[in-house]
């Protein structure tokens, strides 16, 4: 099959795809065919005879890389191309496992996720006696954020504390001490956290001429996606990977930079031409995704943003429904409006998989999740909670980890503290014995406590068995499960559910032949929510944080909680840069929509300490309504009618006899209807009350 590049790409895309050599910066507006460009670029390079293994595609998630590479393969009628792809972190991991010894990294090393990091910090905090009540020393999460932010932004902890954490000024010295100890602990125990992967990979390229030669010669074409969300370390890495030939293509959109909390610098886009003076700049401005009314909103949202490469998106898709902004009475009403509106779209033949609800923070969807669940809609949720962060999953993983890296003190503690009769002090002794023995198992066998603690004996036997099954981490997981089951049952009353999740872990492990690979992969690309499992993709709606929606699109998009204090988040309101990032976040959300765009917020919301309060619409959407241009339907009956809750429709005209719940009045039974919009409800505690169905946030609790 011959790919007709000229026909299938617009001139700017074509220019990017067929660029022969030298650095290129592609500034790609939302929906401008950025992914398409990268896919065709890979195919084109392969067609030109470039060895696929010499192409490296760095993306934001592994999923993105896989999808692009499989699309490129399909274009070329191949099953797989053998192009290398993944995240910066996973690529760094691969290179460090190969060449890390050049800079004296311990190999193998274990990768720590955020939870592990916090666990270690917590121990240090205690060891140093910084956990006294009067002290109010920052908690582990805050400390971990400071450390990570410092690495990713390149600011010293002192600077960072005075800039962003000035209330912790008093503790600067102790914080630095904790960090030193944390760093020392990692070195000593062969542990690397996410940030270390970048730091050491960068160091490897910088300090070791030999390794740099090998790596840069191996990868002669480098494509970097989402360049606006790279940090200074990643930008340095890209520069060094460019090597002599400088065949680097960076693709990004400064208006969509939403990861500054992890050090992302959209300025990297501006600086790219400075790092690579020969850079060709290509702009993709035509949008192929959204209707003009949706783009009008997007352009307005971003118009006030002072981003350097300003683009104005245009589209040839005219017409389409007007976006709406809707005020709900309260959170629950907001959920009801969304559910009702989704029902309308489904009636019109829109498939569930073409609909998404997006929000600023993961917990914003809790109420909606309950409501969707009650009504029997399936949904997949992205963002927030991670399978791997569940305590029981971490417990089991810790057993694999000490086997892979005997020095991993953190995992040891985790394992040993589970053994009945073992606490802090015994755990230390047992660990010492295990680490110092000729082998792990022999070390454990030498423990004096072994006879008194039957579960410790069992643990020793477990490790002996695990050592004998090589080549398949799944078998090892199953062995751990046999051992762990009684502990699981003792610790959690929902153990059957947790057991199933653990079995999923065993299934996941089956894809790997080496335990090391399994551990690294699963930490770097944690599996998504378990609800995703065994569900027909077409039948599920998507719920997602905006961060996790990056790069995706849907026919219909709902943005909920567009209220001051929620979006923008209350934590961002006193920093102008953070506020700009929140704006870009909304821009990303809006530009996910192809046809329908609904923005909602509750007029009242619950606020800790203050109870039920009036909210203000998000400053970003308020501008949209005030300017009152036709792109944006004003808040009106008409604008919202599509969203109006109408329980009558859903329930075939009669609610009589049903049990309902009202947030203020509690549970009650519907006694009868009054006209079309009103019902009389007998509330268990308040008696008879007449309610208007258009406004009352009623839920059905029993059919």
Shorter beta-carbon distance to DNA: residue 254 or 595: 254
Minimum CB separation of residue 368 from DNA in Å reads 14
Shorter beta-carbon distance to DNA: residue 305 or 472: 305
| Residue 561, φ and ψ in degrees, nearest 5 | 60, 40
Minimum CB separation of residue 371 from DNA in Å reads 19
Shorter beta-carbon distance to DNA: residue 19 or 583: 583
Q: Are 296 and 597 in contact (CB under 8 A)?
A: no
- Listing DSSP states for 320-384 in one string gives -PPPEEEEESSHHHHHHHHHHHHHHHHHTT--GGGEEEEESSGGGGHHHHHHHHHTT-EEEEESS
Shorter beta-carbon distance to DNA: residue 427 or 679: 427
Minimum CB separation of residue 632 from DNA in Å reads 25
Helix (H), strand (E), coil (C) string for 512-576 = CCCHHHHHHHHHHCCCCCHHHCCCCHHHEEEEEECHHHCCCCEEEEEECCCECEECCECCCCCCH
Any idea what DSSP says for residue 412?
A: H
Shorter beta-carbon distance to DNA: residue 152 or 291: 152
Minimum CB separation of residue 160 from DNA in Å reads 13
Minimum CB separation of residue 297 from DNA in Å reads 22
Which of 525, 582, 620, 592 lies closest to 258, judged by CA?
Answer: 582
Q: Are 224 and 248 in contact (CB under 8 A)?
A: yes
Shorter beta-carbon distance to DNA: residue 82 or 421: 421
In the structure encoding, which two tokens stand for residue 55, read together? 């192409």
Minimum CB separation of residue 572 from DNA in Å reads 6
Binding residues (CB under 7 A) for DNA: these are 60-61, 87-90, 113-114, 122, 125-126, 131-133, 136-137, 139-141, 148, 194-195, 258-259, 261-262, 360-363, 382-384, 417, 419-427, 524-526, 545, 547-548, 569, 571-572, 578, 608-609
Minimum CB separation of residue 607 from DNA in Å reads 8
Element (H, E) at 465: helix 454-468
Shorter beta-carbon distance to DNA: residue 40 or 359: 359
Minimum CB separation of residue 544 from DNA in Å reads 8
Give the whole-angstrom CA distance, residue 310 versus residue 270.
Answer: 12
Cβ-proximal residues to 228 (8 Å cutoff; 6+ apart), any chain:
252, 253, 254, 256, 257, 264, 266, 268, 269
Minimum CB separation of residue 422 from DNA in Å reads 5
What strands lie across the sheet with 84-87, from one edge to the other? 84-87, 55-59, 221-224, 248-252, 24-28, 280-284
Give the whole-angstrom CA distance, residue 602 versus residue 489.
Answer: 42
- Listing DSSP states for 653-684 in one string gives T--TT-EEEETTTEEEEEEEEETTTEEEEEET
Minimum CB separation of residue 586 from DNA in Å reads 12
Q: Are 202 and 233 in contact (CB under 8 A)?
A: yes
Minimum CB separation of residue 476 from DNA in Å reads 24
Q: Are 402 and 430 in contact (CB under 8 A)?
A: no
Give the whole-angstrom CA distance, residue 56 versus residue 52.
Answer: 8
Give the whole-angstrom CA distance, residue 39 versus residue 432.
Answer: 52
Minimum CB separation of residue 468 from DNA in Å reads 29
Give the whole-angstrom CA distance, residue 430 versus residue 449.
Answer: 8
Which of 652, 702, 658, 650 lies closest to 679, judged by CA?
Answer: 658
Tokens 């956990």 correspond to what residue?
Answer: 131
Minimum CB separation of residue 238 from DNA in Å reads 15
In the structure encoding, which two tokens stand for residue 462, read together? 């477990």
Minimum CB separation of residue 579 from DNA in Å reads 11
Shorter beta-carbon distance to DNA: residue 168 or 338: 168
Helix (H), strand (E), coil (C) string for 247-264 = CEEEEECHHHCCCHHHCC
Shorter beta-carbon distance to DNA: residue 38 or 588: 588
Give the whole-angstrom CA distance, residue 636 versus residue 530.
Answer: 40
Shorter beta-carbon distance to DNA: residue 17 or 92: 92
Minimum CB separation of residue 120 from DNA in Å reads 12
Which neighbouring-strand residues pair with 670? 681
Minimum CB separation of residue 634 from DNA in Å reads 29
Shorter beta-carbon distance to DNA: residue 89 or 289: 89
Give the whole-angstrom CA distance, residue 574 versus residue 576.
Answer: 6
Give the whole-angstrom CA distance, residue 105 versus residue 205.
Answer: 14
Shorter beta-carbon distance to DNA: residue 324 or 615: 615
Shorter beta-carbon distance to DNA: residue 19 or 140: 140
Shorter beta-carbon distance to DNA: residue 88 or 109: 88
Shorter beta-carbon distance to DNA: residue 141 or 657: 141
Shorter beta-carbon distance to DNA: residue 381 or 476: 381
CB contact burial 192-210 (16+ within 10 A = b; e otherwise): bbbbbbbbbbbbbbeeeee
């Amino acid at each position: 099959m011959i790919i007709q590049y000229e026909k299938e790409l617009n001139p700017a895309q074509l220019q990017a795809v067929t660029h022969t050599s030298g650095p290129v910066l592609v500034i790609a507006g939302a929906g401008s065919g950025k992914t398409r460009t990268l896919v065709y670029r890979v195919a084109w390079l392969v067609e030109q005879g470039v060895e696929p293994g010499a192409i490296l595609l760095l993306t934001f998630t592994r999923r993105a890389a896989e999808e692009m590479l499989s699309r490129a393969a399909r274009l070329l009628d191949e099953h797989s191309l053998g192009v290398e792809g993944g995240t910066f972190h996973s690529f760094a991991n691969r290179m460090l496992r190969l060449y890390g010894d050049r800079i004296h990294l311990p190999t193998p090393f274990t990768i720590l996720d955020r939870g592990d990091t916090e666990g270690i910090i917590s121990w240090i905090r205690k060891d140093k006696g910084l956990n006294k009540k009067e002290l109010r020393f920052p908690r582990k999460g805050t400390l971990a954020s400071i450390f990570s932010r410092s690495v990713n932004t390149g600011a010293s902890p002192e600077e960072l504390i005075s800039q962003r954490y000035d209330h912790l000024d008093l503790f600067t010295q102790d914080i630095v001490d904790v960090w030193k100890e944390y760093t020392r602990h990692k070195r000593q125990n062969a542990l690397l956290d996410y940030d270390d992967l970048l730091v050491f990979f960068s160091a490897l390229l910088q300090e070791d001429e030999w390794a740099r030669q090998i790596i840069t010669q191996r990868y002669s074409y480098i494509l970097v996606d989402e360049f606006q969300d790279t940090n200074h370390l990643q930008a340095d890495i890209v520069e060094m990977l460019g090597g002599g030939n400088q065949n680097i293509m960076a693709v990004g959109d400064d208006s969509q930079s939403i990861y500054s909390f992890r050090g992302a610098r959209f300025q990297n886009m501006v600086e790219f031409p400075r790092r690579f003076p020969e850079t060709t700049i290509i702009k993709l401005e035509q949008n192929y995704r959204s209707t003009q009314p949706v783009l009008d909103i997007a352009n307005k949202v971003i118009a006030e943003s002072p981003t350097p490469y300003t683009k104005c998106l245009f589209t040839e898709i005219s017409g389409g429904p007007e976006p709406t902004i809707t005020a709900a009475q309260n959170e629950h009403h907001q959920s009801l409006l969304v559910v009702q509106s989704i029902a309308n779209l489904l009636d019109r033949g829109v498939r569930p998989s073409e609909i998404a609800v997006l929000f600023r923070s993961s917990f914003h969807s809790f109420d909606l999740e309950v409501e969707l669940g009650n009504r029997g809609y399936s949904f997949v949720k992205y963002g927030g909670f991670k399978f791997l962060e569940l305590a029981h999953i971490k417990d089991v993983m810790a057993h694999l980890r000490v086997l892979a890296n005997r020095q991993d003190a953190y995992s040891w503690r985790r394992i040993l503290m589970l053994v009945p009769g073992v606490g802090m002090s015994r755990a230390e002794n047992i660990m010492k014995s295990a680490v110092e023995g000729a082998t792990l198992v022999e070390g454990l066998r030498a423990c004096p406590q072994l006879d008194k603690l039957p579960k410790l004996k069992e643990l020793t036997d477990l490790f002996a068995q695990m050592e004998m099954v090589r080549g398949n981490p799944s078998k090892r997981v199953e062995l751990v499960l046999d051992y762990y089951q009684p502990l699981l049952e003792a610790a959690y009353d929902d153990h059957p559910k947790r057991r199933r999740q653990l079995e999923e872990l065993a299934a996941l492990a089956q894809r790997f032949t080496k335990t090391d690979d399994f551990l690294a992969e699963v930490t770097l690309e944690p599996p998504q929510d378990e609800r995703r499992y065994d569900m027909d993709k077409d039948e599920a709606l998507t719920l997602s944080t905006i961060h996790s929606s990056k790069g995706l699109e849907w026919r219909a998009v709902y943005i909920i909680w567009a209220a001051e204090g929620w979006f923008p988040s209350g934590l961002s309101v006193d920093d102008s840069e953070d506020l700009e990032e929140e704006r870009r976040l909304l821009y990303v959300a809006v530009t996910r929509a192809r046809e329908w765009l609904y923005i909602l917020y509750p007029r009242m919301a619950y606020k800790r300490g203050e109870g039920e309060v009036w909210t203000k619409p998000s400053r970003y959407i308020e501008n949209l309504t005030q300017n009152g241009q036709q792109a944006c339907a004003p808040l009106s009956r008409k604008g919202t009618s599509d969203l109006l809750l109408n329980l009558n429709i859903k329930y075939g005209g009669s609610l009589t006899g049903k049990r309902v719940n009202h947030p203020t009045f509690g549970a009650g039974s519907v006694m009868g209807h009054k006209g079309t919009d009103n019902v009389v409800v007998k509330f268990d505690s308040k008696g008879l009350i007449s309610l208007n169905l258009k406004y009352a946030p009623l839920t059905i609790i029993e059919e």
